[in-house]
Amino acid sequence: MNEMIDEIELSCQEEIEKAINHQTNEYMVIRAGRANPHILDKVFIDYYGVPTPIKNMASITVPEARILAISVWDQSQMKNVSKAISAADLGVTPNEDGKVIRLIFPVLTEERRREIVKQIKKIAEESKVAVRNARRDAMDMIKDLEKNGEISEDERDGYEDDIQKLIDKACDQIDENYKLKEKEIMEV
């Protein structure tokens, strides 16, 4: 019997981790007034028929706080990389000098900072919804065990409390991630 409960808790924990990892990965891509190489993680180039991420085709450095320098290893792909960055609509225009592509990030205005905070708030809420869905699924499985007579009502209550503790901890983590990112964005 404990094996089934352990399996339910493990499944719930995995869903929670997925939600928190999703939030963390989304936050990495969002820039906060300074250059962040992760902003290019979702930009792919058609490299000889294969969609390839920029980081697999070039070295990306941050020479200054608001500048990304992209050194493409295969110089014949400079134009393609530049076009892909432009098409990705990152809010910056690539500057190409034949050897290096530079992305110069403008200083964020107060209005733009507030828009980004709304965006990260939405991501946090989506993560919380995913965590609550994991709770619902786990609670349903525990209730089914009780309905089938495999556990008592008291045991069900105890297991539900354990699941709720996992959920509360995950929601606290999501809120903490949000607050840290909000502080980073609003910092001038």
Q: What is the DSSP string of 11-74?
A: HHHHHHHHHHHHHHHHHHHS--SS--GGGGTT-EEEETTEEEEGGGTEEEEEEETTEEEEEESS
pLDDT of residue 174: 95
pLDDT of residue 81: 87
pLDDT of residue 92: 79
pLDDT of residue 127: 95
pLDDT of residue 46: 84
Could you give the 3-state DSSP secondary structure of residue 106?
coil
User: How many Cβ atoms sit within 10 Å of the Cβ of residue 106?
Assistant: 10
pLDDT of residue 5: 85
pLDDT of residue 90: 74
Region 2-29+109-186: CATH code = 1.10.132.20
In the 8-state DSSP scheme, what is residue 152?
Answer: -
Tell me which of 3.50.50.60, 3.40.50.1820, 3.30.1360.40, 3.20.20.70 is the CATH number of domain 37-104: 3.30.1360.40
What are the CA-CA distances from residue 38 to residues 18, 110, 138, 156 (Å)?
A: 19, 23, 34, 44
Domain ranges in the chain are 2-29+109-186, 37-104
As averages over each run of 10 residues, the pLDDT of the chain (188 residues) reads 83 93 86 75 84 88 86 87 83 84 84 87 95 94 89 89 93 94 83
CATH fold match for the domains 2-29+109-186 and 37-104: no
